[in-house]
């Protein structure tokens, strides 16, 4: 806001100076040359002094403050104000035009900085938009991965339950198989024991039969001996000897 007020004041001063210049020019007759001209794009007034023009009067005519008179004389190379001849060319800085030009240049620089800042802001906005888009894409990808992981976790849980059931079933089958093998071994041991008992009984029975046969043979032998001793007179059980 203050910059605008300064700019307005500079414009007003420039307008007033231009009006004063027009008045000075209007005082000259059309056949005469203009009182002064401008140089350096209007930043400097060029004035050719007339007879009787004192440097201080020329400075006052162009609005130079009394305090700036020494600088005005030094800028024009005047060492002795009383020895300035007629036709001396003064170069008077146009303070309003210079201030306006400097202000315009400053405004142009400010506009350039603002344009640069605006471009950087646009770039930052584009970068932020890109980052937001990338963040959304990353969030969508993360959500998709989370959904896949959740499905995989459910499948894994089901697989674990199935694996536990399979292990339990396998353990049960192994237990049944071990029990079957154990029963089979018990049956085999019982069969071997029974076979051994039968073999022992058969052996004992065979031994008993052999013993019975041996006794029968002994008895028959003794009977024959007895029959031989008794002769044909003895009859035993309806048999004659």
- Signed CA dihedral, 189, 191, 193, 196: sign only: negative
Instruction: Identify whether 236 is part of a domain.
Output: no
12 against 134, higher pLDDT: 134
Calculate the average pLDDT of the chain.
80
12 against 200, higher pLDDT: 200
Residues 184-207 have a mean pLDDT of 87
Query: How far apart are alpha carbons 35 and 20 in whole angstroms?
Result: 12
pLDDT for residue 52: 84
Q: Is residue 29 scored above 50 in pLDDT?
A: no
The 3-state secondary structure of 49-88, one letter per residue: CCCCCCHHHHHHHCCCCHHHHHHHHHHCCCCCHHHCCCCC
Instruction: Identify whether 29 is part of a domain.
Output: yes
Residues 110-128 have a mean pLDDT of 89
Quick: pLDDT tens for 70-98.
988 898 988 888 888 888 988 888 776 66
Residues 126-155 have a mean pLDDT of 90
Instruction: Identify whether 138 is part of a domain.
Output: no
pTM across the whole model: 0.34
Instruction: Identify whether 38 is part of a domain.
Output: yes
Query: What's the DSSP call for residue 110?
Result: H
Instruction: Identify whether 57 is part of a domain.
Output: yes
43 against 116, higher pLDDT: 116
Residues 190-217 have a mean pLDDT of 88
Instruction: Identify whether 160 is part of a domain.
Output: no
Q: Is residue 141 scored above 90 in pLDDT?
A: yes
- Signed CA dihedral, 142, 143, 147, 150: sign only: positive
Name the percent of the chain lying above pLDDT 90. 10
Instruction: Identify whether 67 is part of a domain.
Output: yes
Residues 195-212 have a mean pLDDT of 88
Q: Are 46 and 89 in contact (CB under 8 A)?
A: yes
pLDDT for residue 38: 75
Q: Is residue 108 scored above 60 in pLDDT?
A: yes
Q: Provide the pLDDT confidence category of residue 140 given band limits of 50, 70 and 90.
A: very high
Instruction: Give the Å distances, CA to CA, from 61 to 28, 32, 134.
Output: 15, 19, 69
Q: Is residue 14 scored above 70 in pLDDT?
A: no
30 against 38, higher pLDDT: 38
pLDDT for residue 241: 34
Instruction: Identify whether 60 is part of a domain.
Output: yes
Q: Is residue 224 scored above 90 in pLDDT?
A: no
Q: Is residue 23 scored above 50 in pLDDT?
A: no
Judge residue 222's burial from the number of C-beta atoms within 10 Å of its C-beta, 0-12 exposed, 13-18 middle, 19 or more buried: exposed
Q: Is residue 11 scored above 60 in pLDDT?
A: no
pLDDT for residue 19: 45
Domain count, the chain: 1
Find the domain containing 6 and state its range. Answer: 2-106
Q: Is residue 230 scored above 60 in pLDDT?
A: yes
Query: How far apart are alpha carbons 193 and 191 in whole angstroms?
Result: 5
Q: Per-residue DSSP letters for 175-228?
A: HHHHHHHHHHHHHHHHHHHHHHHHHHHHHHHHHHHHHHHHHHHHHHHHHHHHHH
Question: Tokens representing 38?
Answer: 């401008």
Q: Is residue 28 scored above 70 in pLDDT?
A: no
């Amino acid at each position: 806001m203050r910059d605008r007020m300064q700019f307005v004041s500079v414009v007003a001063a420039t307008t007033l100076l231009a009006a004063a210049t027009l008045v000075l020019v209007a005082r000259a007759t059309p056949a005469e040359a203009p009182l002064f001209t401008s140089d350096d794009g209007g930043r400097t007034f060029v004035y050719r002094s007339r007879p009787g023009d004192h440097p201080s009067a020329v400075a006052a005519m162009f609005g130079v403050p009394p305090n700036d008179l020494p600088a005005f004389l030094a800028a024009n190379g005047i060492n002795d104000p009383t020895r300035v001849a007629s036709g001396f060319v003064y170069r008077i800085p146009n303070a309003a035009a210079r201030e306006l030009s400097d202000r315009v240049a400053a405004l142009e620089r400010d506009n350039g900085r603002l344009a640069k800042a605006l471009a950087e802001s646009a770039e930052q906005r584009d970068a932020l938009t890109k980052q937001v888009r990338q963040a959304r894409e990353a969030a969508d990808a993360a959500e998709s991965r989370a959904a896949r992981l959740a499905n995989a976790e459910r499948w894994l849980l089901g697989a674990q339950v199935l694996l536990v059931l399979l292990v339990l079933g396998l353990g049960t089958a192994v237990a049944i198989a071990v029990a079957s093998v154990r029963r089979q071994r018990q049956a085999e041991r019982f069969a071997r024991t029974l076979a051994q008992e039968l073999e022992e009984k058969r052996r004992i029975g065979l031994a008993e039969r052999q013993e019975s046969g041996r006794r029968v043979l002994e008895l028959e032998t003794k009977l024959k001996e007895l029959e031989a001793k008794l002769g044909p007179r003895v009859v035993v059980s309806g048999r004659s000897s």
